[in-house]
Structure formats: structure tokens, C-alpha cells
Amino acid sequence: MKKISLIIPHYNGVEGVKKLLSTVPTKKGLFEVLIVDDNSPLASFEELERLLKRTAEDLDVHLYKNGSSNKGAGAARNVGLDHATGEWILLADSDDYFSENLLEILEKELESTEEVIFFPPTSIDTETNQISDRHDQLVSYLTRYTETPSRSNEMLLRAYFSPPWSKLIKRELIIREGIRFDEIIVSNDVMFSTKVGILAKDFKIVDEIIYVVTRNSESLTSKPNREKFFIRVDTTVRRVEFMREQFGEEIKNITFNFYWMVRAARVQFGLRAALKTLLIFRKNDVPVIFPEKKLGKKLKVLFFTKKEKFLF
């Protein structure tokens, strides 16, 4: 049995997979690599097959297809979980890659007893080759807890380190708690990561970078999609409900506010979408705190027309 099962969803991005695999250590017995293709065009799938045949000389690589009726990274990742055999689960997106010292860092942690090990990621703009800010929020959760290990900072870290990557997860935790990815077109990893973080018996933070997230102009200019936005709204409601179930009265010690999503709905989709978002949140007791003190100013903020950019 391999120590680590690396799960990678793929759709029409062979060059990204090629770069990612070049950063995976080839030490015998360490990794099994599970790549799950999410119904790529035939030419792309065949190109991926050729790449993996060449890679198989150095890595234990397995290629699967997402044969379910649900498309998307969530469904593909679940296929990977079904086939994983490693003691640890490590996840990666096919357009990202690992740091050069991945092997050195991981080998020191493989015998850890904690169920989750968090690592601070970094990010890079692929067009300028400069450090991006995509990782900043995640690192802030780690830093906040490391500097002040209060219960409230612990709860924030457990619940809000949303991406599935840049952490090692004991497969036993996933099996014991029946944790799966949502098979939806966006935010498929939110509830998975929330459950992993909250339900883990224990965790630790290793202050070394193992994962590099990429960002490009396409990810910054994607057209707003109303259906995807409200899937995110629904996921937010389910996350807050789960936090409330697990943390109980302790959740009052966490300060969080989803006013920004109401405002994003107004900017991107109009007033009706903003009101719909607000009503959904109010109905489900999701915190929405307006920044203005007076009702008139609240309405002024909600009805504003200035165009702004919101990233998800």
C-alpha cells in the first residue's frame, strides 16, 4: 500500500497535468497518482493517455473516467476517493503544481498521528510569473491560529480552509465520517473541506509551502453566471448550518458576515438577485450585517449602481 493517494481531476488540460506530474516525487512506494478524467474531448483524453504511459515508468499512475451522470471536479474527485488505497489523501488541481521540496517536507510528516495537516500555499500569476494574492486569505487563517491559538481562531481555520489542496488528510477520517465532494458545478469542495476540518479529531500546521496555486487572466475575467452564483449561496447556507450543528453555542464566538454576497448579487445580476440572496440568508439565519448604521444608508448601499469586480 502506498503512503499517499494523490487525486487529480482533469478536463481538457494535458499540459497542466504534465507540469503537475513533473513536480510529484518519484520515490518508490510513496505515491499512487489517481487521475480522473471528467469527460474531456476524445483528442484530449487520448493525449492524456499517451502522457501517462510515458509517466508510468517513474510514477504509479492510474487513469479513471468519471462515468457518473454528474460532471465536474466534485464527481471526478469522488471517483478518485473510491479507488484510493493510501494512508493519506492529497488533492491537487490539474493546473497547479507542487513545490520543489515536497518530498523532504512530506517525509517528515508521514508518521504523524493528526488527521489533518495544513500547509500554507502560495500562488503565482502564470502570465507575469509574479506572486499572486490568491493564497492570502488561506494563509491568514493559518497565521491567525498560529499566533493566537484561541478556540474562535481554531473554528475559523477548521471551517474556512476551503480548498481541498495544500493539506494531508487521513483516509481513515474520510471513510469514518463518510465525507464526499458535492457533485455540483461550482463550490464542490466547500462542504468536503468544511467537514474534513471540523470532524477531524486533531490537526496540525506545518509552516512550509508544498502547493502552488496558479492564476491567469481567464480566471479573472470569467463572465458572471447567475446559476453558479446561487449554487454558491446554497452552499454557504449549508456550511453555516453544519457549523451551527457542530459548534453549537460556540459559533457565537466567530465573527462572520455575508453582506458581501448580497452586494455581489446586486452588482452582477441586479436588485432582484440581491433581494433574493438577502431573503435566503435571512430565512436560514446566515449573518448579513450592513456596514451603515442608518436604514437609509443601508438601502443606498444595497441599491448602488457602481460596477465592481467580485471574485469567487
Residues of 109-132 as b/e, b for ≥16 C-beta within 10 angstroms?
A: beebebbbbbbbbbbbbbeeeeeb
Distance CA 259, CA 79 (A): 36
Q: What is the largest CA-CA distance in the chain?
A: 67
pTM of the predicted structure, to 2 decimals: 0.91
CB 196 within 8 A of CB 81: no
Per-residue pLDDT of the chain (312 residues; tens, 9 = 90+): 689 999 999 999 999 999 999 999 999 999 999 999 999 999 999 999 999 999 988 999 999 999 887 889 999 999 999 999 999 999 999 999 999 999 999 999 999 999 999 999 999 998 888 998 889 999 999 999 999 999 999 999 999 999 999 999 999 999 999 999 999 999 999 999 999 999 999 999 999 999 999 987 665 446 899 999 999 999 999 999 999 999 999 998 888 889 999 999 999 999 999 999 999 999 999 988 877 654 455 555 554 444 444 333
Length of the chain (residues): 312
Distance CA 308, CA 267 (A): 7
Question: In the chain, what is the straight-line distance between the N-terminal and C-terminal CA atoms, in Å?
Answer: 37
Strands 122-125 and 211-215: parallel
Q: In the chain, what are the domains?
A: 4-220 (3.90.550.10), 226-302 (no CATH)
List the grid coordinates of 96. 497547479
218 CB-contact burial (10 Å; exposed 0-12 / middle 13-18 / buried 19+):
exposed
